[in-house]
Chains A and B, each alone.
Chain A
Amino acid sequence: MIPVSLAGTASFMPDAVVDNQFFGISPESRRGGMFRGPDTRHHMSPEETAADMIEKAARTLCERMNVDPATDIQLILTNVSLPDLPFTGCGASVSHRLGCAPIRIVDMHNTGCVSFVFMMDLARSLMTTTGAKTALICNAQTSAGRVFAHPQNRTRPQSAIPGDGCGVGLLVADDHSPVLSIATRSCGAFADDMLATSECGGSYWAPRESAMHLDFTESRIAAIVGRGNRLVPELISEACADAGIATSEIDVLVTNQPNEVFLRNWREALLLPKEAHVDTYVEHGNLFGAAIPVCLERAEQTGRLKPGNTVALGGFSHAGDYAAAAIIRWKTSSCG
């Protein structure tokens, strides 16, 4: 496998910021402690698309990295939580809007909240086999406005948790900000524990009177929590071992952001202080797959992530069907 670097990340957030009152949560009724939920989150408007968000985030990234989309983006990989269209992803549309001429476009539909790491892994493989030197990796979380804002879903306990947003990253075939290791795992036994359901039942594509929402099999909730707690530290530890470092050498921890309890448990398991863990949950809610690139950008912009730092990316998806982690030595030299 050729050496690859994560050169940078950028984000785009929809304009609409939604507060807790939208979900019928008053300051008095708000739960305390770790279950208090986010203060705010962004929602996409009905007209907005994943391709819109990715285009805007990618333009920011290209400008920041001095990258010409016409010549410098050779691979495009996307993961969108609720796609703009059934049947196809938005990669081709993104490519056209940015004026790219990529060798490959991949719209990846699995690995949800940790798909940024899986797409890094896939992009590295594609670079190795196609000779591509650059890959635009795009995560768009679209389900907050599209599913959880629906009047029939709004007051469900889980509806205040997700937030929409987009994060993109540029992977390049050099070693200036090297990806030291990537660890991935799939656990098919957990694949059927997430449900797209509605009050009146039936398949999600069938016409019906009540809105679709996402849920987990009630009998598996305790098991899902256990899996999530276990998988992410395990994968990060595995990636650290592959990179030849101890978990205590992680300077910055960037994970998906499902809730404050998982975040606490992961850093406790890795013996990392709260300050080392990037946390945008209270502001953005659960950004699904977009959380990792968005948090990485946040870490760099706030000065928490400095050149030479060791950064660990990690997370799990859905009910635990996938988990992954990567270790990066951040910008050891200027862009090669």
Chain B
Amino acid sequence: MSSIAPNLANVPNLRRFENFPKADMNGLAMELTHAVYPHDQMFGKYCTLEEYIDCPPDQVYEYLADPYTLGEWTYSMRDFGELDAEGRVRSTDKIGGETHIYTRVDANPDARTVDFHCAWDQGDKLWMIYLMRVVPAELVLDKPGSVVLWSNCHHPFYDKNPFPEAAPPERPIWVGDLWPFFYAGHWVEMQNLKSILEYRHANNLPLNPAAIARGAK
């Protein structure tokens, strides 16, 4: 048995080449590789999806980083207002009837990450966080275009609305009731994103015409 690096000696549960032989690793890999995976296991705690978009990565990033484009590619976010002093914008999430949703975008052009910090009903604690990253397809798939990664974590507030007083009266659903459909809902929105960007890119149209219109005002 090879010696274990001193810095790691006291760390429990490590499986490294030095202490976990290849045959054991193969056995474990076999065991961990199932033919099918229950939906809950795949999407119960984290909901991650990914898609290829035939549109250059910097342009996909710019489109995503503009919160107003959520009015185009999401299924139900509409009627966006002005950005407030903290960079939040209020819109309506039609899936909750007359539900307000608050959004702030934290974007990093170098990493091409776009993090949407959102919440239903109130804007003080933006706990619904959608993490997106645009990767050049040239690097990962050896072809032009972008790969978009999108992750969402099952925050405990999805299970219980911590701000019931902020909800419109008689609203029959809470955003977290839909968690079992998040993969499906986000898949539809990812396809919307892909369709919009690929259509505009293929036809040499401005990718974000609404932003141009706003700029012209």
Contact = CB atoms under 8 A, between A and B. Distances in A.
A234 to B, nearest CB: 8
B38 interface: yes
A230 B39 contact: yes
B181 A222 contact: yes
A218 interface: yes
Interface string A202-226: 0000000000000000111111011
A223 B173 CA distance: 12
B177 interface: yes
Contacts of B178: 222
B108 to A, nearest CB: 32
B40 A222 contact: no
A269 interface: yes
Nearest to B174: A219
A225 B180 contact: yes
A222 B38 contact: no
Interface of A: 218-223, 225-226, 229-230, 233, 268-269, 271
A223 B174 CA distance: 12
Contacts of B181: 222, 225
B172 interface: yes
B35 interface: yes
A268 B181 CA distance: 18
Contacts of A220: 177
B39 A226 contact: yes
B177 A269 contact: no
Given A218-B173, A219-B172, A219-B174, A269 B180 contact: no
A220 B36 CA distance: 25
A220 B177 CA distance: 6
B130 interface: no
Contacts of A269: 36, 38
A268 B36 contact: yes
Interface in B11-65: 35-36, 38-40
B127 interface: no
Contacts of B35: 271
Contact of A230 (B38, B173, B174): B38
Given A223-B177, A268-B36, A271-B36, 4 more contacts: A219-B174, A222-B177, A226-B39, A269-B36
Contact of B40 (A218, A219, A226): A226
A219 B173 contact: yes
A271 B37 CA distance: 11
A219 B181 CA distance: 12
B180 A223 contact: yes
Contact of A219 (B36, B38, B39, B177): B177
A162 B118 CA distance: 40
The residue among A218, A226, A229 with the most chain B CB atoms within 10 A of its own CB is A226
B179 interface: yes
A218 B179 contact: no
Nearest to B44: A226
Which of B40, B178, B180 neighbours the largest number of chain A CB atoms within 10 Å of its CB? B180
